[in-house]
Amino acid sequence: MSAESAGPPAVGRLDLDDLRARLAAAPPGAAGPRAQDGGPRAPDGGPLQPLGLRHITEGPGALDQLGDVLAAACGGTSGPAVVLAAATPMSVRGEGLRETIGTLIGSRCGFRWVIIGPASGAVHADEPTVAAARAAAAGAECVVTVGSGTITDIGKAAAGPGTALIAVQTATSVNGYADPFSVLLRDGVKRTTATRWPDALVVDPDVLCGAPAGLNLAGAGDLAAMFTATADWYLAAVLRAGGPPYLGEVAALVRPHGDRMFALAGELAGTGLTGTGLAGTAARLAELARLLTLSGITMGVTGSTAPASGMEHAISHLLEMAATATGGPASLHGLQVGVASITAAATWAHVRDLIAGGALERPPRLPDPDLAADRISAAFAHLDPTGAMAAECLADYASKLRLLSGADPLAPLRTAWADHEAVLGALLTGPEALAAGLRPAGLPVRYGELPAPVDDATARWAVANCALQRRRFGVADLAMLLGAWEDDDIDAVLARAAGAAAAASVP
């Protein structure tokens, strides 16, 4: 049996009109796996946000259609267009990608290239960089982003109202190509900011094949969040702790493809990018890109990154903030998320074990606002002695504290834990299985294995303080309310994650 036909079914080409129809038919507030048989329901909410991504051009030869895509996005007019890219060299079919895109666009309209960030290509979506991109895009009828998720995020923030935005995806590195958000740096803190959808997304597997293999595999690490973030999303909805209502129909766009994602990543790790392996690699990268696109769409239509970003992303954000503040190298976001997903899965296992032992029967341990402020100040002082980073984190965390200020924030879990446990059990994957899925794909499963290795002390700091970085409620916050996020608890979680990584490393 061929690799393409074995295992979980492949993810087919995306039909946005069909997807819109399916989402429009989804009942509000459906809780997911058990909703149809009398299981619990998350709080009802308003309608889903419109799917603002109007067009996807994907498959072999997609890049060659860029001129037509641009003309359609601009209503048939002739520009001008601004093309945003980093200084990093890129290629397609052995030719320079910039030169190829220049020919394709130049035959249809006037345009100019704008190189974002330093000559090294290491672009950060900080306030000065976004401001420079916005100034460069002023007056353009169309903005085209060519490059990484960071370049795409900057383009979403730079393209003003009425300006068409086309994203040319150059790697299967993140799910942020197909959502209306940008992860921007504010006072050194990673913040997800509502910006806008791209009007069109162009995904050519020949372009994806030109990206470094590690960059492409990083997307599988980013998608590993589905095994933990979906549960965090459900938890926050049940506790009414902010964020969007949980919708099983939206989660089902991505979560059932978890096994297929691991299979794709494993096949990509074992397939060469030359000779007879090239066609197979292109097909697999195209499929991985579809999964990343679906993941981005789940965030966009819920109006939140909650469907794909839980505790594991908060850990990754802290690692990136630490690297930026200290001037050290940072690993790719998706690779960090993959490792952090194992930690998040271990945290969920720890919390569920404690609840099985009666932890929900005790009164919740509500965080003291003054102590929380002191803890946040102490946690981030070594990264920013000015206190601006801590103040930014506290501002977000304080809103979470206000949501939890009721007499018993855990009452919704306590009154129907068996039902909620059944839903969570269907969403979650244990740390051992998660590590076993990541390892065959050649993805790191320990913080010390990342391309920019993270030492034990920094990893522990990020895990211990991940809940303090943002208002999003997740499993680490639940552990705190249970009085189960003390030093011994964090040590136990890290030990279980380390054990899962060790077991996955045995030949």
> What does the alpha-carbon distance between residue 253 and residue 56 come to, in Å, rounded to a whole number?
17
Listed in order, strand segments (DSSP E) in 158-197 are 164-169, 181-186, 189-194
The pLDDT assigned to 278 comes to: 62
Alpha helices in 138-257 (DSSP H): 149-158, 205-209, 213-223, 229-238, 248-251
Q: What are the pLDDT digits (tens) for 216-272?
A: 999 999 999 999 999 999 999 999 888 899 999 899 999 999 999 999 999 998 754
The angle subtended at Cα 107 by Cα 67 and Cα 110, nearest 5°, is 95
The pLDDT assigned to 36 comes to: 32
The pLDDT assigned to 35 comes to: 34
Q: What is the reported pTM?
A: 0.91
Pair 180, 157: CB distance under 8 Å? no
Give the residue ranges of the chain where pLDDT is below 70: 1-6, 27-47, 76-79, 271-279, 507
The pLDDT assigned to 119 comes to: 87
Taking Cα atoms as reference points, which of 337, 333, 331, 334 lies closest to residue 311? 337
**For the chain, domain boundaries:** 49-211, 215-505
Write the CATH number of the domain with boundaries 49-211.
Answer: 3.40.50.1970
Which residues, in sequence order, are CB contacts of 321 under 8 Å at separation 6+?
Answer: 188, 189, 190, 383, 389, 469
Residue 77 Ramachandran class (φ > 0 left, ψ -120 to 50 alpha, else beta): beta
- What pairs with residue 147 in β-bridges? 169
SS3 86: coil
Q: What are the pLDDT digits (tens) for 70-84?
A: 988 877 666 689 999
E strand or H helix at 438? helix 431-438
What topology is assigned to 215-505 in CATH? Dehydroquinate synthase-like, alpha domain (1.20.1090)
Taking Cα atoms as reference points, which of 336, 312, 311, 334 lies closest to residue 323? 336
Which residues, in sequence order, are CB contacts of 192 under 8 Å at separation 6+?
Answer: 181, 182, 183, 305, 309
SS3 85: strand
E strand or H helix at 58? strand 55-58
